[in-house]
Amino acid sequence: MRDALGSVQSVLVLGGGSDIGRAVARALVGRRARTVVLAGRHPEEMEAAARELRDAGATKVEVLPFDALDPASHEPFVEDVFDRFGDLDLVLVAFGVLGDQAVAETDPAAALEVARTNYIGAVSVTIPIAGRLKAQGHGTIVALSSVAGERARRSNFVYGSSKAGMDAFFCGLGDSLVGTGVQVMVVRPGFVRTKMTEGRPAAPLSTTPEAVADAIVRGLERGRETVWVPGSMRWVMSVVRHLPRPVFRRIPL
């Protein structure tokens, strides 16, 4: 359960090696979270992050294998985590791949990997998570969506469409959970400087994992269902979303 001041005490990060995921875990431990489970494809690579969280004051930090591309493992994985760690206050869905748009446009396997990771993987692992959170009667799911899902761009539509799908799923899930004690927060960052965007020219309004983490913490304190990072992205995307298609097509995004 959250403590008397409303701070999250136990956290599961799916995609525990994610730069944004790690920044959120650090921010939450800085605000008295004590149990953190980092779950991802390469547990050995998450050990350094786990040590960092222990040094920052977390008392129970574990690293577990989790693969978004293996939906058959998701239900047993979720059962195991909740059985072993008890109630969880927050689950952060932080895994994702950007993929290579040029390759994905001609190679169905490459496009499918993006869709299966970002959309199918998120749906598959979140259904049992929502069930366990509902059973415990409290908790928050924080899903890292993207402004890319708000309107799919010519240059990035495979990734954008996968984020649009997962974003719609989490919005609908949040609505379905009203009255259960469980909340869903959908986070839509713009360009964040992380491993995922390394080597790419920073887009306007680019931001950092720490700024995303701060926005999430503020959003949790205020009970927000949608968080844009930076906040001005909300207004930018509202305009972009409504541009006529012939105009939108001509903008070099």
Ligand X SMILES: NC(=O)c1ccc[n+]([C@@H]2O[C@H](COP(=O)([O-])OP(=O)(O)OC[C@H]3O[C@@H](n4cnc5c(N)ncnc54)[C@H](OP(=O)(O)O)[C@@H]3O)[C@@H](O)[C@H]2O)c1
Residues 142-161 that bind ligand X (CB under 6 A): 144, 146
> Using the rule CB under 6 A, is 200 a contact of ligand X?
no
* Cα–Cα–Cα angle for 95, 90, 166, rounded to 5 degrees: 40
| Angstrom distance (rounded) from CA 74 to CA 106 | 30
Is residue 115 within 8 Å of residue 202, measured between CB atoms? no
What is the C-alpha radius of gyration for the chain, rounded to an integer number of angstroms?
Answer: 18
DSSP three-state, residue 25: helix
Task: Rank residues 182 and 186 by Cβ distance to ligand X and give the closer one.
Answer: 186
Report in angstroms how near the CB of residue 34 gets to ligand X at its nearest: 23
> Using the rule CB under 6 A, is 189 a contact of ligand X?
yes
> Using the rule CB under 6 A, is 191 a contact of ligand X?
yes
Is residue 208 within 8 Å of residue 174, measured between CB atoms? no
Among 67, 75, 87, 100, binds ligand X (CB under 6 A): 67
Report in angstroms how near the CB of residue 21 gets to ligand X at its nearest: 6
- For the chain, first and last CA: distance in Å? 43
Among 12, 38, 88, 192, binds ligand X (CB under 6 A): 192
Cα–chain center distance at 226: 12
Query: For ligand X, how many residues bind (rule: CB under 6 A)?
Result: 27
> Using the rule CB under 6 A, is 18 a contact of ligand X?
yes
Active site residue 119: no
Strands (E), 86-232: 90-93, 139-144, 182-189, 226-229
DSSP at 73: G
Among 117, 124, 140, 161, binds ligand X (CB under 6 A): 117
From the list 74-82, 124-132, 184-192, 220-228, the region that binds ligand X by CB under 6 A is: 184-192
> Using the rule CB under 6 A, is 114 a contact of ligand X?
no
- The CB-nearest residue to ligand X is 96
Q: How many helices (H) and strands (E) does the chain have?
A: 10, 7
Report in angstroms how near the CB of residue 109 gets to ligand X at its nearest: 14
Report in angstroms how near the CB of residue 83 gets to ligand X at its nearest: 21
| Dihedral sign of CA atoms 238, 145, 184, 56 in order | negative
Residues 68-107 that bind ligand X (CB under 6 A): 68-69, 94-97
| Angstrom distance (rounded) from CA 161 to CA 16 | 23
User: How many other C-beta atoms are found inside a 10 Å radius of the C-beta of residue 238?
Assistant: 11
Among 159, 169, 191, 228, which one carries the catalytic annotation? 159
Report in angstroms how near the CB of residue 235 gets to ligand X at its nearest: 17
- Which residues does the annotation mark as catalytic? 159
State the residues that interact with ligand X by CB under 6 A: 15, 17-21, 40-42, 66-69, 94-97, 117, 144, 146, 189, 191-192, 194-197
